[in-house]
A and B are shown apart, each in its own frame.
Chain A
Amino acid sequence: MNDAQIATNSYLSFKLEDETFAVEVAKVLEILEIPSITKVPKSPAYMTGVINLRGNVLPVIDTRLKFGLSTTEYTVNTCIVVFKVDIGHESLVLGALVDSVQEVLEIDQDQIHPSPSIGNKYRSEFILGMARVNDNFLMILNIDDVFSADDIMAVKETSIKEITE
């Protein structure tokens, strides 16, 4: 499996509020509908809960909250995108709530522009660049950087708790 090759070409786009984001397909494991979400006590606010993914515990993060937006409101289009996040040499599987999943599209590297550092409400380290597709700008996220070590810890704890229970 050639991750780097994949990363150069295909992206999965999704929407948070009005903005469109894209993530490398290599980081995406699958897309789920909203199942019943089990809330985890004493977890951070952006931790919505955990779900049962084919017998494994999958922590679900409210991406909107993480990005400083209001709490996600569930619609028919609300989905969970399962990411494989690499932090250092560790990798972690977690679900992110998005308002809707758009499509899988191919973006050449030369179409990606570096993101402006000023006036961006999102932390610039999240964003690899911006691409223009059909007159809309989409922000290509570095999903590994979106989730910090703290988050990972929280998620890990939740996952462990869930598993041990």
Chain B
Amino acid sequence: MLDKIKASTKLFLLVFVMSAVIVGIGVYGINNLKAMNMITKTMYEDRVLPMVQLTGVRGAYTLEIMATANKLQAHQLNYQQVKRIIKKGSEKASKNWADYMATYLTPEEDQLVKQAIAYMDVAEESMDNLRLIIDKQDSVALKKFVNEEMYPSFDPVIAKLNDLIQLQVRVANEVYINSNEVYSSTSINSYILIVFSLAFGITLSFYIVKNINDMIKRLQDLILYVTNASDNIASASQEMSASSQLMSEGASEQASSAEQVAASMEEMTANILQNTENAQQTERLTVKVVGDLLEGSKAVNETVISMKDIANKITIIGEIARQTNLLALNAAVEAARAGENGKGFAVVAAEVRKLAERSQVAAAEINDLSRNGVTISERSGKLLEMLVPDIQKTSKLVQEISASSVEQNSGVEQINSALQQLSNVIQQNAATAEELASSSEVLSSQADQLRETVNKNSGGQDVGTVQKATPVKTNKYKKAFSSTSRNALASKNGVDLNMGNGMDAKDSDYERF
């Protein structure tokens, strides 16, 4: 699971854990120091100061009051002086006592204090007596007081005060012992913590260093890969440059072709327009032709009738010619019978007969011809009538052709606009291809730079060796890299990138683990 965490995270984890341990130790130490400080403060405030105050009270009683009374009896001091000293001593005692009472009292101390207060009331009574004696300046009473009353009334108080002082010393000793215990436990805990954190830190560091070493190895691989890839990118980008130049040329050719096509299309448009016009004209012509044909058919029918008439008439002529022939023959016969006298007439009759025969033949021929003419005319009439629907159909077809020509025209216009677009796109393509060429050149130089940078920063000769040993094909660089390069890494000694042994100047900047 930890393998998947980033190296920086690992480092951060290490630093965080170590910092947490340090902070924990620090907080623990500060807490203990605070406890020690509290102990010291208690020692001073609750033990040392009370001792001073108690000593002050005791001193006030012994030195200011009792000693002064003795000195007065021995006449070493006068009454006025004594009175002042006693007043001072009384004030000192009450002040110190009040201060003492303000401090912390242990239960045992409290009991002792109560006893002391009881004794102090007795001492106060005797003090009042002393004050009366001093005011009266009664030396007898003084003597009696000093000898009989003073010591019994003051000694218990002093004894109690001494007990209290002893108690302070004892309690201070107890506190000292307590503080010793705190110190020892704290130091033991701290040692344990330090040892534990050291162990944890070292373990974690070893782990992270191992990870970083792995990462470095992976980085070596990566650098190899990047170097190869940059070579490949360089060659690929060169190829790409060439290809894109080719593409650019192709695009230019395309552009020219598209222009040619556009020109052809324009010609075609003109042709189609011409076609449309021709078709429309043809349509008009066919309509006219249909009319003419109908008229022609009618004319042919009339011709047929006329020819039939002619044939009839010609038959009559033929008949006449035949009869003339007969008459001529008769005349010839008559002339022949007339003998020598009829010779001239015979010649005339023969001529007439010949003419009659010729006209008969001609009539027969005309008859045949007119019969032929009639049949031909009838046939042509029929053909003309048959032509009409065909021509009407042609007219329809021509109309359709005209309509489709118009459609073609619009289609051609669309094609023209599409061609325009195509031309634009092709020009764009050409520009893009040129851009691509320059970009690939830039890419190539970038790849070279990248390779140089990688070589510079990662023991270049090793990578170079690999690169020379395994020239990678452009289009199969992945496969080639994964198979050939890895194999090369595994098999060849020159590929074993050992970053640890050979320390150089740059490596000395880094700490070794």
Contacts and interface: CB of A to CB of B under 8 A. Distances in A.
Contacts of B48: none
Contacts of A26: 336-337
Interface string A1-36: 110011001101000000000000110111111000
Contacts of A31: 326, 329-330, 333
Chain B residues touching A, range: 10 to 19
A39 B346 CA distance: 36
Contacts of B346: 10, 104
Contacts of B349: 104
A133 interface: no
A29 B337 CA distance: 9
Contact of B326 (A10, A79, A104): A79
A30 to B, nearest CB: 5
B350 A25 contact: no
Contacts of B330: 30-31
Given A12-B333, A76-B322, A103 B339 contact: no
B339 A104 contact: no
Contact of B337 (A6, A33, A77, A79): A6
B333 A30 contact: yes
Interface of A: 1-2, 5-6, 9-10, 12, 25-26, 28-33, 76-77, 79, 101, 103-104
Contact of A1 (B326, B329, B339): B339
B350 A104 contact: yes
Q: For chain A, what secondary structure do more than half of its interface residues adopt (helix, strand, loop), or is it mixed?
A: strand
Nearest to A26: B337
A162 B350 CA distance: 36
Tell me which of B332, B349, B353 has the highest count of chain A C-beta atoms within 10 A of its own C-beta: B332
Contacts of B319: 76
Contacts of A2: 339
Nearest to A11: B336
Given A33-B323, A76-B322, A101 B329 contact: yes
A27 to B, nearest CB: 10
Q: For chain B, what secondary structure do more than half of its interface residues adopt (helix, strand, loop), or is it mixed?
A: helix
Nearest to A30: B330
Tell me which of B336, B349, B350 has the highest count of chain A C-beta atoms within 10 A of its own C-beta: B336
A5 B335 CA distance: 13
Given A5-B339, A5-B340, A25-B333, 20 more contacts: A1-B337, A2-B339, A12-B329, A25-B336, A26-B337, A30-B330, A31-B326, A31-B333, A32-B326, A76-B322, A77-B322, A79-B326, A101-B329, A103-B350, A103-B353, A104-B329, A104-B332, A104-B335, A104-B336, A104-B349
13 contacts: A5-B340, A6-B337, A10-B346, A12-B333, A25-B332, A25-B337, A31-B329, A33-B323, A103-B332, A103-B350, A104-B349, A104-B350, A104-B353
Contact of B339 (A6, A30, A33, A101): A6
Contacts of B353: 103-104
Nearest to B331: A104
Contacts of A1: 337, 339
A148 to B, nearest CB: 25
Contacts of A9: 336
Contacts of A12: 329, 333
B336 A101 contact: no
Interface in B135-178: none
A56 to B, nearest CB: 17
Contacts of A77: 322
Given A1-B339, A2-B339, A6-B339, A104 B322 contact: no
Given A76-B322, A103-B353, A10 B329 contact: no
Interface string B198-230: 000000000000000000000000000000000
Contact of A101 (B326, B335, B337, B350): B326
A6 B335 CA distance: 10
Contacts of A32: 326
Contacts of A29: 333
A57 to B, nearest CB: 20
B329 A103 contact: yes
A111 B421 CA distance: 106
A10 B323 contact: no
B326 A33 contact: yes
Contacts of B333: 12, 25, 28-31, 104
A5 B336 CA distance: 10
Interface in B312-365: 319, 322-323, 326, 329-330, 332-333, 335-337, 339-340, 346, 349-350, 353
Interface string B76-92: 00000000000000000
B320 to A, nearest CB: 12
A42 to B, nearest CB: 32
A10 B322 contact: no
Contacts of B332: 25, 103-104
